[in-house]
Amino acid sequence: MESISTEIPLTFHSVKIIEYLLSRDKNIMKPKVYLIDVTNRDGVQTSRILLPKLSKTMLNIYLDEMGIYQSEVGFPTLKHEVNYINANLELVKLGVIKRIHLEGWCRAVPADVELTFTNCPELKHINISISTSEIMIQGKFQGKKTFKDIINSLVEAVKVAKRHGAETIGINAEDASRTELERLIEFIFAGKEAGADRFRYCDTLGTDDPITIYERTKALALATKFPIEMHCHNDLGMAEAVSVSGAQGAIESGVDSYINTTVNGYGERCGNCDLVSTILALNFSHALKNKVPLDEHIDLKKAWKIGKYASYAFNLPIPINQPGVGSNAFAHESGIHADGALKDRRNYELYAPEDVGRGEPELLETGRIITTGVYGGIKGFRHVYDKLGIHFHDDNEARKVLELVQYANLHNQKPLTDDELRFIAKYPEIVRKILTVQI
Ligand SMILES: [Zn+2]
């Protein structure tokens, strides 16, 4: 029988192809930073601020457009969140929300995970959280629980999530920064063995500093080879600094890192790690941009839109000096600065307004204006939608959408934005669900 040789002679070209494939594989394997935005969970749970469900939905859509990896949508165990979360999961099925993972947060308690999937059976991504530091275990459970009990609860909770078909499970160590590394390693291995996918290092009180957190995440990643999420608070004004340093530690040990952010830094007490500042730091900091590669899907040009929308939706002004989106971020007046910026903007600007999606003129109506809302009628409603280029098939359809617009305006307690009006007209049944709360 004739044998066929499978040997291929190594020509100059085939060597080049192999070299190319190897370098491509290396790039594919190179660890990166992904962003998980927690505005719709940590941002909204903050004292004295809140967000309507329609605004939470718009944020999920904007975060998706911005290329953010995951949005922590809220609390699936909380009754008033259920319809909103399920409606947003429907938006994923409809292809309106395209790429972003919609993830729910609950305690790492088996009963809570059960309730999560009873309420939201289509949920595919979950982060479960439990305190790991001795100070919290003593202070919260008052001697009724030990660290061993914490581990048992975590393992059982992960197993329940797995049983319900969770595709990704993050295990959150609350107060990780005040927990011994040995404990965190034990926590990670227990969760990993039960089927978890990522570890969330929570600097719950904002007590870490950039060097300490870098050393700690580096050690954790080396010991466990498990991806690490950074969840950092701003009590010492270092939320972004510690987040990127922690991510760098993980990346240098060869694992992916995920930074938790909120839009405009809204969050518990002094806030969370700000979304836009984090992207700016990873794109424009001289040293960081080479050391800590950021998920290439992220579109910084959407920064202005999302920052402005969140500020409007939360009823909280953006500080004048907010990185990227503050009104002074590209303002120059003093003699030397204005002269330098006029000659070459790079003299005094690290990035350009266009980089964050600014610079386009925005129309402000100063004359007659017709709006539609809670007490609006069909004529005004049609006028507003005509201007948006949206026309209805018949009167019946228009009246149905008008009714939803009335409810949405009541729900939001402020004029609806053009994007919100478009969304209501396009997905009335989804909006109906978002605006409905079951008691
Ligand atoms: Zn938090």
pLDDT tens per residue across span 232-245 = 999 999 999 999 99
**Mean pLDDT along residues 126-140:** 97
- 239: Cβ–Cβ under 8 A, 6 or more apart, which residues? 206, 232, 233, 265, 271, 272, 273, 274
- Which pTM was predicted? 0.93
Q: For 110-125, how does the pLDDT look when each residue is reduced to its tens digit (9 = 90+)?
A: 999 999 999 999 999 9
Give the distance (Å) from ligand 1 centre to CA of residue 231.
6
Give the distance (Å) from ligand 1 centre to CA of residue 149.
23
The token duo for 162 is: 């797995």
Give the distance (Å) from ligand 1 centre to CA of residue 1.
70
Under the banding of pLDDT at 50, 70 and 90, the label for residue 18 is low
Give the distance (Å) from ligand 1 centre to CA of residue 233.
6
Give the distance (Å) from ligand 1 centre to CA of residue 33.
19
Whether the per-residue pLDDT at 211 is higher than 70: the answer is yes
Give the distance (Å) from ligand 1 centre to CA of residue 273.
10
Give the distance (Å) from ligand 1 centre to CA of residue 117.
23
Contact 264, 317 (CB under 8 A): no
DSSP, collapsed to helix, strand or coil, labels residue 327 as coil
Q: How many CB atoms lie within 10 A of CB 35?
A: 27
Give the distance (Å) from ligand 1 centre to CA of residue 113.
19
CA-to-CA dists, residue 361 to 305, 357, 358, 364, angstroms: 13, 11, 9, 9
The string of DSSP codes covering 60-120 is: HHHHHHTT-SEEEEE-TTSHHHHHHHHHHHHHHHHTSS-SPEEEEEEES-HHHHHHHHHH-
The reported pLDDT for the residue numbered 439 is: 77
The reported pLDDT for the residue numbered 293 is: 97
The 8 Å CB, 24+ separation contacts for 27-32 are 30/293, 31/250, 31/251, 31/254, 31/255, 31/256, 31/257, 31/293, 32/251, 32/256, 32/257, 32/293, 32/294, 32/295
CA-to-CA dists, residue 120 to 77, 107, 170, 235, 433, angstroms: 9, 15, 17, 34, 14
The token duo for 221 is: 């990643």
Give the distance (Å) from ligand 1 centre to CA of residue 136.
15
**Mean pLDDT along residues 183-209:** 98
Give the distance (Å) from ligand 1 centre to CA of residue 2.
69
Using the 8-state DSSP alphabet, how is residue 326 labeled? S
Give the distance (Å) from ligand 1 centre to CA of residue 356.
26
Give the distance (Å) from ligand 1 centre to CA of residue 20.
43
Give the distance (Å) from ligand 1 centre to CA of residue 46.
9
Cα(61)–Cα(57) distance, integer angstroms:
6
Give the distance (Å) from ligand 1 centre to CA of residue 224.
23
Give the distance (Å) from ligand 1 centre to CA of residue 408.
29
**Mean pLDDT along residues 50-75:** 98
Task: Give residue for tokens 């904007």.
Answer: 62
Q: For 374-431, how does the pLDDT look when each residue is reduced to its tens digit (9 = 90+)?
A: 999 999 999 999 999 999 999 999 999 999 999 999 999 999 999 999 999 999 999 9
**Mean pLDDT along residues 127-143:** 96
Under the banding of pLDDT at 50, 70 and 90, the label for residue 23 is low
